[in-house]
Amino acid sequence: MRVLVLNPGSSSLKSSVVETATIPAADPEGSVPAASAESLAPLGQIDLDWGVDATAGGDPQDDIRSLVSRYEAAGIDPTTLGAVGYRVVHGGATFRRPVLVTPEVIEQVTALTDLAPLHNGIAAATMTAGLAALPHLRHVAVFDTAFHATLPDAAFRYAVPEAWYRDWGIRRYGFHGVSVAWSAERAAALLARPVGELRIVVAHLGSGCSVTAVDGGRSVATSMGMTPLEGLMMGTRAGSIDPGILLYLLQSGRLTAEKLAEQMEHESGLVGVSGRTSDVRELLQAEADGDGRAGLALRIFVTRAAECVAAAVTSLPALDAIVFTGGIGENAAGIRARIVARLASIGVAPIPEEAVSEDGVLSAPYSSPAVLRIVAREDLIVAREAARIAGSAAT
């Protein structure tokens, strides 16, 4: 099936058209074919830049109409599409698997916006626009949080009063699940190991950042929590900080709840410490030019990422590989090398500080754990799930 994938992220609307027949699938033993980058390439790909975060984007309906027209101009006839798939960040406790998009589903996704304010609102708007632009197709929502439905209770529960969990649903959900799912499959192919045997840690480092421990293809620990604010330092988000700081700022009247939310979502992280940008490429150049705040921002980022990777390892019986993915994980070779250097105490050997353009193993041959660089191909997982759900609905 040919699927249009729409991925409204925290800084852009990514889109691609994928022919699902080209996506490698695991055999009954869990082995995944090592497909080439060329064979995995989408039929077409168009990305729209929304700047620092998705809430600053334009009109999704105009964006969808523009994308459809541009794909048609490139020779991809909209009538050949079999489905539209959407990556949705937060499914809460409601969505533990992909579903057909309906007005009721969009309403439920919108209701979760408070838990993912940079993502769910724009995802709901994108789905609404997609239904209007392509009403003859089946539309499928694929949720990041669904991959983490396998988290054990000791990993998803917080040490708070029972009523918080029972009555208010306060628990860890985890995010970047679609990216992690692809990383696990791709790592298995690159290492020539069955997915079910691999114990890996996936570091998704981009505008948003998370670390997930995956045991045999199942999420067993992850750094993001009930919302995408927890865990690693990120582009504009602080990650985990002392909750007493937030109480102090509110109780002392220094910040209102609204202003605190704004600064935690948009004015913290790399941009908050550096005072200039969340773009790691610019920060690396500024660091080289002697900018102390840029250098400090990168040192904090590396420290927090290494801490989270090391913590994730404690949820695995052993560690076979560490995967770097996401915009920073894929492209910032210096940041990868710095993070790995801090993991020497847990037996991770150094990797070269050199840029690579292909998926592959960065560590020396026969090193264990292996260190890999894998392009985040959320579109392939979304397309495969959308084709499956749309196909089932048609029978």
pLDDT, one tens digit per residue, over 138-181 is 999 999 999 999 999 999 999 999 999 999 999 999 999 999 99
DSSP per residue over 124-193, as a string? HHHHHHHHHH-TTSEEEEEEGGGGGGG--HHHH--SS-HHHHHHH--------HHHHHHHHHHHHHHHT-
Q: Which uninterrupted H or E stretch holds 204?
A: strand 199-205
279 in active site: no
Identify whether residues 72 and 46 lie together within a single domain: yes
The whole-number pLDDT of residue 51 equals 61
User: How would you label 133-170 residue by residue, b for 16+ Cβ within 10 Å and e otherwise?
Assistant: bbeebbbbbbbbbbbbbbbeeebbeeeeeeeeeeeeee
Mean pLDDT to the nearest integer, 108-123: 89
Identify whether residues 349 and 209 lie together within a single domain: yes
Asked if pLDDT for residue 53 goes beyond 60, the answer is no
Identify whether residues 87 and 121 lie together within a single domain: yes
The whole-number pLDDT of residue 393 equals 73
- The answer to whether residue 281 sits within a structural domain is yes
Range of the domain at 200: 192-373
| In contact, 97 and 392? CB cutoff 8 Å | no
Identify whether residues 201 and 151 lie together within a single domain: no
Identify whether residues 162 and 28 lie together within a single domain: yes
- The answer to whether residue 181 sits within a structural domain is no
Strand-strand pairing, 199-205 and 321-325: parallel
- The answer to whether residue 122 sits within a structural domain is yes
Q: What is the side-by-side order of every strand in the sheet holding 83-88?
A: 44-49, 12-19, 2-8, 83-88, 138-143, 99-100
- The answer to whether residue 182 sits within a structural domain is no
The whole-number pLDDT of residue 32 equals 82
What is the pLDDT of the chain when averaged over all its residues? Answer: 93
The whole-number pLDDT of residue 391 equals 86
Identify whether residues 130 and 240 lie together within a single domain: no
Q: The whole model's pTM is what?
A: 0.92
Identify whether residues 209 and 343 lie together within a single domain: yes
Identify whether residues 45 and 131 lie together within a single domain: yes
Mean pLDDT to the nearest integer, 101-108: 96
The whole-number pLDDT of residue 340 equals 98
The whole-number pLDDT of residue 54 equals 47
- The answer to whether residue 233 sits within a structural domain is yes
- The answer to whether residue 186 sits within a structural domain is no
Identify whether residues 135 and 209 lie together within a single domain: no
- The answer to whether residue 185 sits within a structural domain is no
Identify whether residues 149 and 273 lie together within a single domain: no
pLDDT higher at 288 or 56 = 288
CATH number reported for the structural domain that contains residue 128 in this entry: 3.30.420.40
What is the number of domains present in the chain? 2
Identify whether residues 124 and 264 lie together within a single domain: no
Identify whether residues 118 and 208 lie together within a single domain: no
- The answer to whether residue 187 sits within a structural domain is no
| In contact, 380 and 25? CB cutoff 8 Å | no
Q: For residue 123, which amino acid is it?
A: A
Q: Could you say which of 53, 63, 144, 320 is catalytic?
A: 144
